[in-house]
Structure 1
Amino acid sequence: MCKIANDQLINDRPANTKRVLIVYYSFSGQTQLLLQRMGAAMRECGVEVEIERLQLVEPIQFPFATWLQMSRVMVYSFFRWRVPIQPVDHLLNQEWDLVILAGPTWSYNPSGPMLYFLDQYGAQLVNGTRVMPLISCRSYWRTHYWGISRILKKLGAEVMEPIIYLHSANEPWRTIGLFLQLVGRLPRLETSWFRKRYPRYGHSREQWQDAAEQGRKIARMLLEE
């Protein structure tokens, strides 16, 4: 359930249902966990939510087989490498009250699948529509946000303030842990000396809870319009 400004509880779907589209790419599953909770919270408030995970034409191996393979992908991503995705034409020719574009930062930029998605579908999907970026990253999200905002504005979107989720551990363990996870070398034993300094990869349970609260806030914003 969700409360709106007049303290009326929303239990049933209202006649003027608000519709939210969440498009995301998640390489290691961290963004997906956040969006599951955000989407569920919005639905509890009476908002219709469609969540679309971008699927690659040629999947990228996770974890990477070698350090060299990981390094190559990081270099390509720095130059805004486009990674082809499976068609998502079913998202077009529909009206959305809000589009959320979510995913990780790849070498300071939006991910390759998200960039390809915007190249192929952005002009038809986001023109004249409010778009909210949601960014999952280790630390450096501002270049990502600047880049995707620039693309979206050129496509005619109304860009909203982003939602940012940084990986929860402290540096330098956050960076070391990320690289170890990407190549499948993160120690499994919770009692290892490294895991005592780096208790988990990615986002925390507190951030999952915050994602649900963000979903409720977004729902209230839409329902009060």
Structure 2
Amino acid sequence: MKKILIIHYSQTGQLTDIVQSVTAPFKNNETVSIVYENIKPKPAFPFPWSATQFCDVFPESVEGIPCEIEPVQFDPNESYDLVILAYQVWFLAPSLPITAFLNSPEAKVMNGRPVLTIIGCRNMWLLAHETVKQQIIKSGGRLFGNIVLGDRTNNLLGVLTIAIWMLSGKKKMFFGLLPDAGISDKDIHDASKFGTILMKSLKNNDPESIQETLNMHGAVTVVPQYILFEKRIQRIFKIWSKFILRKGERGNPARKFRVRLFLGYLFAAIAVIAPVSTVLSILAVKFKKDEIQNAIDYFSKNIV
């Protein structure tokens, strides 16, 4: 019997739906045993949350400072045939609960094991994946494959719908006047095709990466203009995160003013900077072809 451990954290429930879809082909299969581990931050992050609460997790997310989590329920000494790590992207980084798990002693469960990552995000995930990949390697795991489901809405409209969802809890937008926030129900439902590929690989005892096969079915798409966009945003985020952290850790009232300043910056970025950056990124694809191509080659070859 093949034993699979699935580790995930989902604030909105969307990532849980994705995990359930990907693993649907495993269910009612007597040759597969699945252990689900839902990472639980302590205290739990609210959803929906206020704009200030949202921005208060920003510095720790960017700097990879773990939050506190509840003890895991699985046995880290158990031998699994596959570990699936599903995570959200917060501020171009893995969510804090997943960062906490990756820095915990229980992450040793990945040692010597193939690890498949599943990412649920808006549209930018490359830098977060680099961080997670290095943590998997540090824990002795071997990245087996990666699946990315993102919001297909255009960048500027997606920022608006996601913001409304995060702050109101409403994924359906104004009676259909705007597209639904997040990953489409169809894409989530269709993610079961990746589970079929995984099932076949496990059945054949294939220890090699299955990324090429996954990509043939749309598992990963590298968008050229987002490569430079992410790196540019990350540099700005690093400046802001260090600026806020000088006033204390998450929840410290002393840093509230700086958190609100960052919130103001985000609003300005959405309204003014993002549209300009989008245009500049499109132009960069045309005028920095060699740099973009080198980045595409790197990320395409180093997904696993």
- TM-score where L is the length of structure 2: 0.63
Out of 81, 88, 91, the residue aligned to residue 104 of structure 1 is: 88
Q: CA 1:162/1:85 → structure 2, altered by over 3 Å: closer, same or farther?
A: same
Structure 1's unaligned 5+ residue stretches are 1-16
Residue identity over aligned pairs, in percent, reads: 25
In the alignment, the residues of structure 1 paired with residue 169 and residue 198 of structure 2 have an alpha-carbon distance, to the nearest angstrom, of 38
Tell me, what secondary structure is at the counterpart of 2:60? helix
Give deviations 1:177-208, integer Å, cap 9, x for gaps. 111111117586643xxx4232x122212212
1:40-59 → structure 2 map (5 Å cutoff)? 40-45=24-29, 46-59=31-44
Tell me, what secondary structure is at the counterpart of 1:180? helix
Tell me, what secondary structure is at the counterpart of 2:49? coil
Give deviations 1:57-108, integer Å, cap 9, x for gaps. 201111113x222222233312223121111153312111110100100111
In the alignment, the residues of structure 2 paired with residue 22 and residue 152 of structure 1 have an alpha-carbon distance, to the nearest angstrom, of 14
Residue 197, structure 1, aligned to residue 178, structure 2: yes
Out of 184, 194, 199, the residue aligned to residue 214 of structure 1 is: 194
Structure 1 counterpart of 2:189, one-letter code? Q
Aligned to 1:90: 74
Tell me, what secondary structure is at the counterpart of 2:111? coil
Question: Number of residues paired by the alignment?
Answer: 204
In the alignment, the residues of structure 1 paired with residue 75 and residue 164 of structure 2 have an alpha-carbon distance, to the nearest angstrom, of 36
Q: CA 1:18/1:79 → structure 2, altered by over 3 Å: closer, same or farther?
A: same
1:1-225 → structure 2 map (5 Å cutoff)? 17-45=1-29, 46-65=31-50, 67-184=51-168, 186=170, 190-191=174-175, 195-198=176-179, 200-225=180-205
Q: 1:154 offset after TM fit, Å?
A: 1.4
Tell me, what secondary structure is at the counterpart of 2:16? helix
Q: 1:215 offset after TM fit, Å?
A: 0.9
Q: Cα RMSD (Å) of the superposition?
A: 1.9
Aligned to 2:216: none
**Contact 1:42/1:218 (8 A) holds in 2:** no
Tell me, what secondary structure is at the counterpart of 2:115? strand
In the alignment, the residues of structure 1 paired with residue 40 and residue 170 of structure 2 have an alpha-carbon distance, to the nearest angstrom, of 26
**Contact 1:39/1:49 (8 A) holds in 2:** no
In the alignment, the residues of structure 2 paired with residue 132 and residue 108 of structure 1 have an alpha-carbon distance, to the nearest angstrom, of 20
In the alignment, the residues of structure 2 paired with residue 185 and residue 126 of structure 1 have an alpha-carbon distance, to the nearest angstrom, of 34
Q: 1:40 offset after TM fit, Å?
A: 2.4
**Contact 1:177/1:186 (8 A) holds in 2:** no
Structure 1 counterpart of 2:114, one-letter code? R
Aligned to 1:6: none
**Hey, which of these two has a bigger chunk of helix by percent?**
2
Tell me, what secondary structure is at the counterpart of 2:160? helix
- TM-score where L is the length of structure 1: 0.83
Structure 2's unaligned 5+ residue stretches are 206-304
In the alignment, the residues of structure 2 paired with residue 64 and residue 73 of structure 1 have an alpha-carbon distance, to the nearest angstrom, of 11
Give deviations 1:133-188, integer Å, cap 9, x for gaps. 11111111000110011111111111123100102322211111111111117586
